[in-house]
Amino acid sequence: MISQMNQLFIEKKCVHVLYAYQGIKRYLEQVCEFIEQGIANEEYTILIENDRLYPMILKELQLKLTEQQLNYVHRVNSFDFYFSSGSYHPPAIHEYFKETVAPYVESNLSFRSWAHVEWASMEDPLHLIEDFEKIVDSAVNDLSFPLICAYDGERMPDYLITILMETHPYVLMDDQFMTSKQYLG
């Protein structure tokens, strides 16, 4: 399933994937494989990740990659990324992302991105995620890069699943990689 997805990344470049993960162990395996495949394809990875999981990812990568290969990984603190304006505000997040990818775009360097999307509670304004994902989907197509948006599958209410299936053309769920039939693109 991941090889099919990586083949799509190589062939098409502009690929926006929803990853609904089940469990941290599997999540760590997937993110590390995503980064390793990127390095194998000489692509930089912009990793939007929290302070809790990043040390585990880095530790795993250090076991498999050289220091030079690790230079292909650019980590962005997910809290800073999503709350750069003081709240979850999609236009501010989009600006932060544009600033982050600008050096890669300007230097014509291939890159991919992994964004771990989290929220503190169900009281957070989840409807804003739809606005954000529409902006991101457009950016993926405009800049032609692969992006995985990782969400904890156990914390996704039905209405959020619907929104995410409508805003992601591809889905990785339960180790199955598929095209979203609900995608509205």
Q: Which tokens sit at 83?
A: 């709350």
Q: pLDDT of 1-43, one tens digit each?
A: 457 787 888 788 789 999 999 999 999 999 999 999 999 999 9
Q: pLDDT of 102-131, one tens digit each?
A: 999 999 999 999 999 987 654 556 678 888
| Contacts of residue 104, Cβ cutoff 8 Å, sequence gap at least 6 | 44, 46, 110, 111
**What pLDDT sits at residue 124?**
57
Q: Given pLDDT bands bounded at 50, 70 and 90, which one contains residue 92?
A: confident
CATH class of 2-179: alpha beta
pLDDT at 74 over 50: yes
- The residue ranges of every structural domain in the chain are 2-179
